[in-house]
Structure 1
Amino acid sequence: MKQNILLIDGMALLFRGFYATAYRGNFMKTSAGVPTNGVYQFFRYLLDATNTFSPTHAICCWDMGSKTFRTDLYDGYKSNRSAPPEELIPQFDLVKEVVESFDIPNIGLENFEADDCIGTLARHYATEHNVLILTGDQDILQLVDEGIQVAIMRKGQGNYEVFDHENFYEKRGIKPAQMIDLKGLMGDSSDNYPGVKGIGEKTALKLLQTYETIDALLENIDQLPKGVQAKINADLEMLHLSRTLAEIKCDVPISCRLEDALWKYDKEKVTKKAAMLEWKNFAKVL
């Protein structure tokens, strides 16, 4: 029987939850002074998603530090990101403790990003089951396939845009796998790699709609407008590097047994954890 497996992009939800409440200065500190706003909001998002999509299983994936094989390849990768706010730092460990109280496995591996763990698990489970990835991060759209959907969180709680292999082309004008080559051409300002200087999303989309892949594009480079040829030739090395940085690895050495990921939590255990964090109204959310 096919199961419905929810893969959660932990950092995407935690950061989103933190900033959604922090802008009002609402850090929800415990009497010991520990801020919990990001963690609290994380679980409101999680519970809304489980109510909306009714998974049978849930797994949460995490980044394990800022150094990965991508920073080894390109030291500018994500170097534009400032340090997290001090109120968020204690919440990185705290959120995993609360995830454990729900009996949801926490998965992460040093030298890889959460995306790589999500990609590996998604490909593995999708051979026999249905996978839904919950995130706010567009990079994960490259994983959309038969059996793999991505729910992008939009503004406002409970607002999702779901991408699947049937609606993807209509929404994006390319196939999911072409998202990697799209990033190779146009780069990614949030991850701080440039792609080909002077080629933006509009041109990159047009090129991929015509030639499908970067490899086919390079084989036919003499057919391109002179200006585009010049830009690509001037940035060939960065084009290939950007494509490598953009691609989510789906063969990371991690695994998670489905029986360890059943979405069936012990309300008493969760309530106890919530009480420790002084969340008075959490029982109403459960």
Structure 2
Amino acid sequence: MSWKVATLCSERRFGSPVRKQIIMYLADKASDDGSGIWCSKGTIARQTELGETTVKRAISEFLSEGVLVETGRRACMNGYTAIYRIDLDAVGLLEAICDPNMGTGSRVDGVRCGPGRGASPDGVPGPQRTPNNPKTIRKPPTRGQAREEEVVPELEKAWKAYPADRRRDQRTSLERMRQALSEISPDELIAAVRAYAVETEGFTRSKVSFSDNWLRDEKWRRHIDDLRRRKAETEAAAEKQLGQIAAWVKARHGMCKHLTKAQVVDAVERGLISRQEAHAAGVMR
């Protein structure tokens, strides 16, 4: 049992009493890092007195949301039992349950601020507020506030381009995206994300990188290099083709009759041939 994980989960909203009951049960089985949870859905259903279908649905939702991660399997009498880990970063991003700001009924600060009257001759001034006074504790931002603070237009599209089932720790991912954009353009980052998604389509969750790790390890670099190389090769091939078109026009080659107007105009605009040469070859009026 981990009091750390249980306390963290108890202070966050999970959307319904059933979901909260199940996550608290799992937190009770976790280590301090959220790992090492292995209990069958039937066991959870029996000990929480919930329906097994309800438990299966909640577990599936937690997995898709990234709150719960399947880390392995353990053999049992019925086949195997999945081993789970509660993602503490994902739980930390959920909306916090804040205590209401309720007054004590007194307008006078009950903490002594003046000189003390103990054994000390001069006395020791007391603190203005106790260390655990609600006004000295900054409340964590809600999930909505965190999203409004972190998501900016140029990063939102890149975040949404990452496969939904692999998004994790939005705040860290957006910060690492912002760092990546100091070297590459948003379009290149989006293209790299999509290329990675296509490359790993059909892979199991244990074989793919979640957004925060993928960006931390700068795995986008390989895809960016491939994209830039292919772009350079395409541009070189187009340049070579225009050179061949210019040579045909200058020589009034028989292939001129197969040229399109756009190809001729492009060659003229690039200065590879003149309008007079194009008129003489009969490819421009």
TM over 0.5: no
TM-score w.r.t. length of structure 1: 0.25
TM normalised by structure 2 equals 0.25
Please identify the structure whose Cα radius of gyration is greater. Answer: 2
More helix by share: 2
